[in-house]
Amino acid sequence: QVQLEESGGGSVQAGGSLNLSCAASGNILRGSYLGWFRQAPGKERAGIAAIFTGGPFTYYSDSVKGRFTISHDSAKNTVALQMNNLKPEDTAMYYCAASRGMVGEMLSEYEYAYWGQGTQVTVPS
pLDDT digits (tens, 9 = 90+) for 43-99: 999 999 999 998 889 999 999 999 999 999 989 999 999 999 999 999 999 999 999
What is residue 112's predicted lDDT score, i.e. its pLDDT? 96
CA distance 83 to 61: 13
List the strands of the sheet with 18-25, edge to edge: 3-7, 18-25, 78-83, 68-73
Q: Is residue 102 very low, low, confident or very high in pLDDT (cuts 50, 70, 90)?
A: confident
Res 28 pLDDT > 80: no
What is residue 31's predicted lDDT score, i.e. its pLDDT? 83
For 39, 68, 81, the CA distances from 84, given in Å and listed in that order, are 18, 6, 10
Instruction: Please give the mean pLDDT across all residues of the chain.
Output: 95
Vertex 75 angle, CA 17 and 78, to 5°: 35
CA distance 92 to 125: 13
Per residue, the 3-state secondary structure of 54-120, as one string, reads CCCCEEECCCCCCCEEEEEECCCCEEEEEECCCCHHHCEEEEEEECCCCCCCCCCHHHCCEECCCEE
